[in-house]
Structure 1
Amino acid sequence: MTATRDATAHDAALIDIRSVGFVLGLLLVALGLAMLAPLTVDLLVGARNWEAFFESAMVTGVTGAMIALSCRSGLETAGEFTVREAFLLTTGIWAFIPLFGALPFMVGAPHISFTNAYFEAVSGITTTGSSVIPHLDNLPPGVLLWRGILNWLGGLGIAFVAMIFLPVMRVGGMKFFRTEGFDTMGKVLPRATDIARRLLAFYVLLTLACISTYMVFGMTLLDAVVNAFATVATGGFSTSDASFGKYAGAAEYAGSFFMIMSALPYIRFVQMMGGSYRPMLRDPQVRAFLRWIAIAVGLVVVYRLATSETPVETIVRQSLFNIVSIFTGTGFSSADVNSWGPFPVVVALAVGLIGGCSSSSSGAFSVFRTQILFAAIKAQIQKVHSPNRLSVVRYDGVVLDDEVMNPLIMYLTGYLVTILVLSIGVSLTGVDIESALMAIWTSIGNIGYVFGTATQPTGTMVNFDTTAKWLMIIAMLMGRLGMVAGYVLLLPRFWRA
């Protein structure tokens, strides 16, 4: 199986909607089958809400089967997408699939509106973690499990897209990951089937390890499963309004470890499962990510030790967990970072803007892009200082050409402009500018952590009006689509042969 068809064929051919429809149909069938898990849980505990999952599963599964059957002629090319079809498929995954993921929230508890249900489903599948559902502790267990499943499936989908499609789509400098200079990536990427198998194995093993660890540290089976699903996907949907504040103690250290693991490049774990450990150890992303975590946590710990009378161990534990949660884009919380003072908030905003490693389920700008941006700034400074000196941008010893740098610049520009425009839009709905900016910042970075007065007292986005919620939905989708992909779909010529 190959990720894309020949580029020259792509330039001349119409978009084959059948192959895209076939894959989306199969994904809907899989989503319908996944609804059987919360259905079973609600049946076992005697909650009537199982009926909502039954109805939703039937609608989702039948619709998916009909779409797949009607597009079955695209089966022969379902694994060979043109660049335009890859754009369309990734958009369908993040925007179309949540329409059906939202059904249980509308049909059964918590019986919310379409806008709120779609917001929750998009937040789950994009692994953002923002919520419009308060009083989680009172919900049927099936609903809590479903939120975790949305996170888990979304994280798995993101990993597939990040490793197989984004490099081909050349989104935000990701073309670099197709080069031989990135260790063995150039040799690994074409073997999409092998990648998928190893990635799934790693993802499941990491999830099982996380579940087991959480149970050892006192979580119930349901809490452990849902929180592990959200941790491994860096999604942040928990089972309580208090998030990880409900499990203060050793569980925070465990959560920090698994969040860091989940924000590392998945392709490196795939390579490790093939017996190659050196790429992980040599990856400049990994080294920078771990170093920046240590610096950020250290700065916050020192500040809090100087300004707070909280016990040292508590300061270290809370600072580690919450900074890692924001850095990786998971969005769990065990304490209110806003109450620690202005400096920790600034640190949190900075690391949240960076995000985890590329080729992981983490969102935001990514460590890889940040490193290249720093390298470009350094090269420009050298050029200004020594005009006659040849200054080039290098990453891990590889000279980066315009095919890598131009999409990166477009990505950064689109990222900042989108934050600005959507923040202004949210503020026009009557929200204070700080809350509007924080809402869009956490949405586009797929972070989900709660900042701003408009989220109080529930700690959710339920207080925002319908227009603001749709703007946040757009931000979540744009952040997950890699910015440029979202804008490309708006161009009329994209749809022409």
Structure 2
Amino acid sequence: MALSTLRIIGFINGIFLITLAVSMTIPMLTLLIFDRAQDLNAFLWASLVTFLAGLALVIQGRPQGTELRPRDMYLLTVSSWITVGVFAALPFLFTQHMSYTDSFFESMSGITATGATVLSGLDSMSPGILIWRSLLHWLGGIGFIAMAVAILPMLRIGGMRLFQTESSDRSDKVMPRSHMVAKYMVAAYVGISLLGCLAFWVAGMGLFDAINHTMSAIATGGFSTSDQSIGKWTQPAVHWVAVVLMILGSLPFVLYVSFMRGNFRALLKDQQVHGFFSILLSTWLVLGTWYWLTTDLHWLDALRHVAVNTTSIMTTTGFALGDYTLWGGFAGMLFFYLGFIGGCSGSTAGGLKIFRFQVAYILLKANLQQLVHPRAVIKQQYNQHRLDEDIVRSILTFSFFFTITIAVLALALTLCGLDWITALSGAASTVSGVGPGMGQIIGPTGNFASLPDTAKWLLSLGMLLGRLEVITVLVVCLPAFWRH
């Protein structure tokens, strides 16, 4: 790989680090507002180190006349997420006196909007750390939207070319339009965040808790300001606001752009949105009715508990209203399956994504019809896009490696001494971006603090692989990638 290419990748990473350093002023201001200045020096040092590292990368200058090719985007994407994760860990390291392993695990969980945590005692924790965790979710969420809309379709990752828009077209002709799309997406993200914060506050949360939970919910992350997660607040309105925000974060943001530009039917006509709501609402009704019949709760209360927890799992957020692992084997297995599904493409949610399941159904239906009518020419379309061989191959490849990644990671975790439930659910929850796993150790009422350091590094790798759609990272690991 050419030196000029590495320099421009370093230049862009430097800009990201400077942005991260400036973002650390938000927890500093929070500490001053709450009169908790004892952690201020730690954030100042973390910000200074991050800023100097970013400045060192930027000061070498952007090579003139050098443009990144699509293959260079693989390295830029992987290196930027790792670099940000490395330096975002510094506030945890300096303020909480955690090991760097725990600090990196927490920062990677934050920036990938996974929501797995090694921290406890959140109710009495420094407000600076709490807002920093939520802010990492928020920044990671908008970063992933940009990547899913602009970069992954161009790299032909996992069938994402189905959702290629003008924002991922590299031609000069549409460049002004792509900039406009980016502005609209940021406006939608910020607008929903502001409305969500106001809704949480009106519903009964304090302003600080409302800000934190809004950033966590819209990014489908899952970090909370309480060990009880969203269950600390008993007001039903708070729970329903969380449900709405998690759903909004799981819908395609390009459709919000279409809505803001006058296409008010964009969200209603999208095949992926239809599938998302069909699965979600069906799960609410089936599991809600089952939970009502097996408990003494009123039907609306049972539905609310189910709506919060199932929406949290399916959108890969990680909020919890009580310990849903105690609901029995049927509910536990259903939650495990929902974590694989995830939200829509171009959203902040993780998982396999709805469209891949829909495309798999279309392919299965077409193959069955072909068996019945061997000479028939069967048209295969998804959202008015023709399913050509390249897209189908990309989806099948991604789905295979997504599953294999979870299987290999779970096997590696058992070598670290974890029981099979913790290993399998931990691998699945981190790669899918759900956060909490199953069982007594890493379930919704536990955390990842007691796991061995090796297991935490493996799970951190799982978060990165899942968030970057697996193939992006694997390509960079190939020797052929580095040969000119």
**1:57-136 counterparts in 2 under 5 A?**
57-73=47-63, 77=66, 81-108=68-95, 110-136=96-122
Query: d(CA) in 1 for partners of 2:209 and 2:296?
Result: 31
Query: d(CA) in 2 for partners of 1:247 and 1:386?
Result: 58
Query: d(CA) in 1 for partners of 2:230 and 2:84?
Result: 28
Cα distance, 1:404 vs. partner? 0.4
Describe the shift of the 1:152–1:376 C-alpha distance in structure 2 as closer, same or farther (beyond 3 A): same
**1:382-421 counterparts in 2 under 5 A?**
382-421=369-408
Describe the shift of the 1:14–1:60 C-alpha distance in structure 2 as closer, same or farther (beyond 3 A): closer
Question: Is there any run of 5+ residues in structure 1 with no aligned partner, and where?
Answer: 1-11
- Aligned residue in 2 for 1:241: 227
- Aligned residue in 1 for 2:146: 160
**1:471-490 counterparts in 2 under 5 A?**
471-490=458-477
Q: Is structure 2 residue 41 aligned with structure 1 residue 51?
A: yes
Report if the CA contact (8 A) 1:170-1:407 is conserved: yes
Q: Is structure 2 residue 11 aligned with structure 1 residue 28?
A: no
1:143 aligns with one of 113, 122, 129: 129
Describe the shift of the 1:393–1:13 C-alpha distance in structure 2 as closer, same or farther (beyond 3 A): farther
- Aligned residue in 1 for 2:240: 253
Cα distance, 1:351 vs. partner? 1.9
Cα distance, 1:221 vs. partner? 1.4
Describe the shift of the 1:395–1:15 C-alpha distance in structure 2 as closer, same or farther (beyond 3 A): farther
- Aligned residue in 1 for 2:325: 338
Cα distance, 1:291 vs. partner? 1.2
Cα distance, 1:72 vs. partner? 2.6
Query: d(CA) in 1 for partners of 2:471 and 2:452?
Result: 27
Query: d(CA) in 1 for partners of 2:288 and 2:436?
Result: 20
- Deviations 1:292-345 (CA, angstroms, capped at 9, x unpaired): 110011111111122111222221111011101111111111121111122222
Q: Which amino acid aligns with 2:11?
A: F
- Aligned residue in 2 for 1:370: 357
- Deviations 1:469-496 (CA, angstroms, capped at 9, x unpaired): 1111111100011111111011111122
**1:321-470 counterparts in 2 under 5 A?**
321-455=308-442, 459-470=446-457
- Aligned residue in 1 for 2:269: 282
- Aligned residue in 2 for 1:19: 8
Q: Is structure 2 residue 287 aligned with structure 1 residue 300?
A: yes
- Deviations 1:27-66 (CA, angstroms, capped at 9, x unpaired): 1111001101101111232320111111101111121112
Moved more, 468-477 or 12-21: 12-21
Cα distance, 1:169 vs. partner? 0.7
2:114 match: secondary structure = coil
Q: Which amino acid aligns with 1:73?
A: P
Describe the shift of the 1:269–1:368 C-alpha distance in structure 2 as closer, same or farther (beyond 3 A): same
1:332 match: secondary structure = coil
Cα distance, 1:13 vs. partner? 7.4
Instruction: Provide the identity percentage.
Output: 35
Question: For this pair of structures, how many residues does the alignment match?
Answer: 477
Query: d(CA) in 1 for partners of 2:381 and 2:3?
Result: 37
Report if the CA contact (8 A) 2:436-2:444 is conserved: no
- Aligned residue in 1 for 2:191: 205
Cα distance, 1:260 vs. partner? 0.5
- Deviations 1:165-202 (CA, angstroms, capped at 9, x unpaired): 0100111011122379x9xxxx9788332122111111
- Deviations 1:423-474 (CA, angstroms, capped at 9, x unpaired): 0110111111011000010000011133223226961111111111111111
Report if the CA contact (8 A) 2:221-2:316 is conserved: yes
Q: Is structure 2 residue 481 aligned with structure 1 residue 491?
A: no
1:338 match: secondary structure = helix
Query: d(CA) in 2 for partners of 1:348 and 1:366?
Result: 16
- Aligned residue in 2 for 1:4: none
Query: d(CA) in 2 for partners of 1:292 and 1:124?
Result: 27
Query: d(CA) in 2 for partners of 1:15 and 1:418?
Result: 33
- Deviations 1:201-254 (CA, angstroms, capped at 9, x unpaired): 111111000100111111111111111000111111110110000113210001
1:361 match: secondary structure = coil
Q: Which runs of 4+ in 1 moved over 4 A?
A: 12-15, 187-190
2:157 match: secondary structure = coil
Report if the CA contact (8 A) 1:163-1:189 is conserved: no
- Aligned residue in 1 for 2:29: 40
- Deviations 1:369-425 (CA, angstroms, capped at 9, x unpaired): 111111112222222333333345321243211110111111011011111110011
Describe the shift of the 1:31–1:211 C-alpha distance in structure 2 as closer, same or farther (beyond 3 A): same
Report if the CA contact (8 A) 1:15-1:84 is conserved: no
Moved more, 140-149 or 240-249: 240-249
Describe the shift of the 1:172–1:457 C-alpha distance in structure 2 as closer, same or farther (beyond 3 A): closer
- Aligned residue in 2 for 1:193: 179
Question: Is there any run of 5+ residues in structure 2 with no aligned partner, and where?
Answer: none
Report if the CA contact (8 A) 1:189-1:195 is conserved: no
- Deviations 1:4-29 (CA, angstroms, capped at 9, x unpaired): xxxxxxxx978712222121111111
How high is the TM-score relative to the length of structure 2? Answer: 0.95
Describe the shift of the 1:247–1:15 C-alpha distance in structure 2 as closer, same or farther (beyond 3 A): farther
How high is the TM-score relative to the length of structure 1? Answer: 0.92
Cα distance, 1:122 vs. partner? 0.5
Query: d(CA) in 1 for partners of 2:445 and 2:383?
Result: 45
Query: d(CA) in 2 for partners of 1:229 and 1:257?
Result: 13
Describe the shift of the 1:371–1:485 C-alpha distance in structure 2 as closer, same or farther (beyond 3 A): same
